[in-house]
Amino acid sequence: MRVVLQRVSEANVKVRGRVVGEIEVGFLLLVGFTESDTVDQVEWMANKVIGLRIFQDDSGKMNLTLDDVQGAILVVSQFTLYGDVRKGRRPSFVAAAPPEVATPLYDRFVAFLEARRPGRVATGEFGEIMDVALTNDGPVTLVIDR
């Protein structure tokens, strides 16, 4: 499982021109899965994301959590996180989980996030072509693998 986390001041995702998910301050999570990923990995990742202290405190140090700043989460599925470009000019996506494996893992990830925090969790639409817009705050971007 791979997550690209961006700390944002705002973000939204559109499908066919319609906004399906949007947040203000919080995390935009681009999420990809492999066929060998498990529910335990999904739960670990949800807990890791929620507990990260990457918002600035009054001293300017990354010391505050998402809950401390009353932030929200926008989760967007992105199989291209497992694109392999080492050979040739076209990415290979053989490491990315097929939809029948990735969909339930994605749904569980969102459910874990919703169950473990009081703030809002918005999503894109799994398997759809999406337009994602964001304002990266910092910029702060982390790649988390599990």
Active-site residues, by number, are: 78-80
- Write the DSSP symbol of residue 34: B
Distance in angstroms (rounded) separating the CA atoms of residues 146 and 144: 7
Beta strand 26-32 with 131-145 is: unpaired
User: What residue has token string 């010391």?
Assistant: 63
Distance in angstroms (rounded) separating the CA atoms of residues 16 and 129: 8
